Amino acid sequence: MATSICLLLWVLLIANTVWTQSVRQAYEVLDLEEWDVHDDFFCPRECFCPPSFPTALYCENRGLREIPAIPSRIWYLYLENNQIETIPEKPFQNATQLRWINLNKNKITNYGIEKGALSQLKKLLFLFLEDNELEEVPSPLPRSLEQLQLARNKVSRIPQGTFSNLENLTLLDLQHNKLLDNAFQRDTFKGLKNLMQLNMAKNALRNMPPRLPANTMQLFLDNNSIEAIPENYFNVIPKVAFLRLNHNKLSDAGLPSKGFDVSSILDLQLSHNQLTNFPRINANLQHLHLDHNKIKNVNISVICPTTLRAEQDAFIHGPQLSYLRLDGNEIKPPIPIDIVTCFKLLQAFII
Ligand SMILES: *[C@@H]1O[C@H](CO)[C@@H](O)[C@H](O)[C@H]1NC(C)=O
Ligand SMILES: *[C@@H]1O[C@H](CO)[C@@H](O)[C@H](O)[C@H]1NC(C)=O
Ligand SMILES: *[C@@H]1O[C@H](CO)[C@@H](O)[C@H](O)[C@H]1NC(C)=O
Ligand SMILES: *[C@@H]1O[C@H](CO)[C@@H](O)[C@H](O)[C@H]1NC(C)=O
């Protein structure tokens, strides 16, 4: 069982390579001193308590309607794929050591979450609430939280101050919800000092979310209806490296005057938009998806990003682009051979 947990964690970490280094190894530590040694290895009868992994409690896929009383020794709680509608305070009264709760695929609504139920869990790091029936981001949340997974709910509201104390939150996943532009206030993201990954794909945004946290590295906004990116938008997120805007409504006129000439961006995905020109890019960019736009011409003297270094250093300091996708546009053959003259490191070019 422990092996499969490690494997799961390993997969999760690999899937999120950017912040791998900063995610603390909470799951490797088994601090025996923190255990309640008088705990008599009580196991709720609905669940499975593996003797070799005493800090884990497995209650998933059991058709449960309620959360059982959680023993105080538990760090990892698996409750996914049940019929749970509520999160009361009571079953968590003694569960002060909880680090990880998986409540994906249940029927939890905001009305079902008792006010102190989550915030009393002072050591909680990971909270999974995907595929539930939430209409708001739950609040208050424990200040210790590092990952909040809310994909595939019906979230359209973020209560004031929800994130203001979550200084350790690194990942916020709100993909496939019902967010409109009016979900964000001036200070919605204020306080998220360590946020690195923000996923708001598949919502109903028409504008870029405002005032993002300064440490944002991954910003996923695919499948919205975004038409424009404000001038200087990237100045407040100087570390953004992975930017996905596939399936939006971006046109040339909607881009800032510098386009995507932003030195931090390494991976830029703009598939399925309405661009008619190849946008400006930075020499550091490595992967570029521009397929399924309306691009007609590729004029290499315009698109080849300028570098500050001398010619002889081209391989090291020249344009770093290794992957370029341009299929599904209106480019007529022949394809200018000087694309490879500019992008010397190109390994895959799809047209
Ligand atoms: C918490 O622990 C106390 C003392 O061991 C016990 O009486 C009580 O039933 C426990 N509460 C829950 C919800 O497990
Ligand atoms: C945030 O993480 C740091 C470093 O791990 C830790 O010392 C601190 O207590 C955490 N903050 C909260 C509010 O849990
Ligand atoms: C966006 O929509 C397309 C087309 O419906 C779909 O193939 C793709 O998986 C979606 N991507 C995300 C991140 O929702
Ligand atoms: C490419 O752009 C340059 C600079 O704007 C221009 O002088 C040149 O004529 C263009 N080439 C083609 C083939 O359009």
Residues 207 and 179: beta-carbon distance below 8 Å: no
103 CA distance to ligand 1 centroid (A)?
Answer: 22
278 and 295 in contact (C-beta within 8 Å)? yes
By alpha-carbon position, which residue is closest to atom 14 of ligand 1?
69
Cα 290 to middle of ligand 3, angstroms: 15
Any residues with Cβ below 6 Å from ligand 4, and which? 299, 301-302
- 19: pLDDT confidence band, cut at 50, 70 and 90? very low
CA distance 340 to 321: 10
Is 247's C-beta closer than 6 angstroms to any atom of ligand 3? yes
Average pLDDT over residues 169-189: 97
Q: Is the pLDDT of residue 236 over 50?
A: yes
Q: Provide the pLDDT for residue 337.
A: 77
Nearest-ligand number for the alpha carbon of 277: 4
* Ligand (nearest to CA of 22): 2
- In the chain, the percentage of residues whose pLDDT exceeds 90 is 77
* Mean pLDDT of the 183-195 span: 95
300 C-alpha to ligand 4 centroid (Å): 8
Mean pLDDT to the nearest integer, 229-244: 97
| Closest residue by Cα to residue 153 from 174, 123, 182 | 174
Provide the pLDDT for residue 42: 87
> Tens of pLDDT along 150-159?
999 999 999 9
Residue range 106-112: mean pLDDT, rounded: 98
Q: How far, in Å, is the centroid of ligand 2 from the Cα of 265?
A: 29
Query: For residue 20, is pLDDT > 90?
Result: no
Q: Indicate the pairing of strand 242-244 with strand 267-269.
A: parallel
Task: State whether the Cα torsion 233-234-237-242 is positive or negative.
Answer: positive
**Mean pLDDT over residues 192-199, rounded?**
98
* Separation in Å, CA 61 to CA 84, 100, 115, 274: 11, 17, 26, 44
Higher pLDDT, 302 or 349: 349
Q: What is the pLDDT of residues 86-103, one digit of tens each?
A: 999 999 999 999 999 999
HEC states along the chain?
CHHHHHHHHHHHHHHCHHHHHHCCCHHHCCCHHHCCCCCCCCCCCCCECCCCCCCEEECCCCCCCCCCCCCCCCCEEECCCCCCCCECCHHHCCCCCCCEEECCCCCCCHHHECCCCCCCCCCCCEEECCCCCCCECCCCCCCCCCEEECCCCCCCECCCCCCCCCCCCCEEECCCCCCCHHHCCCCCCCCCCCCCEEECCCCCCCECCCCCCCCCCEEECCCCCCCECCCCHHHHCCCCCEEECCCCCCCHHHCCCCCECCCCCCEEECCCCCCCCCCCECCCCCEEECCCCCCCCCCHHHHCCCCCCCHHHHHHHCCCCCEEECCCCCCCCCCCCHHHHHCCCCCEEEC
State the chain's mean pLDDT as an integer.
Answer: 88
- Per-residue pLDDT, 116: 94
For the Cβ of 8 lying below 6 angstroms from any atom of ligand 1, the answer is no
Give the pLDDT confidence of 201-235 residue by residue, as tens digits: 999 999 999 999 999 999 999 999 999 999 999 99
Q: Which of 43, 74, 94, 98 to mutate to test the pocket of ligand 1 (most atoms within 8 A of CB)?
A: 94
At 123-151, the pLDDT tens digits run 999 999 999 999 999 999 999 999 999 99
Predicted pLDDT at 313: 57
C-alpha 29 to ligand 2 mean position (Å) = 16
333-343 tens-digit pLDDT: 777 778 888 99
Ligand that lies nearest to the alpha carbon of residue 29, given by its number in the listed order: 2
- Expressed in angstroms and rounded, the spacing between residue 299 Cα and the centre of ligand 4 is 6
pLDDT of residue 309: 53
Residue 222: count other Cβ atoms within 10 Å of its Cβ.
Answer: 19
Q: How confident is the model at residue 35 (pLDDT cuts 50, 70, 90)?
A: very low
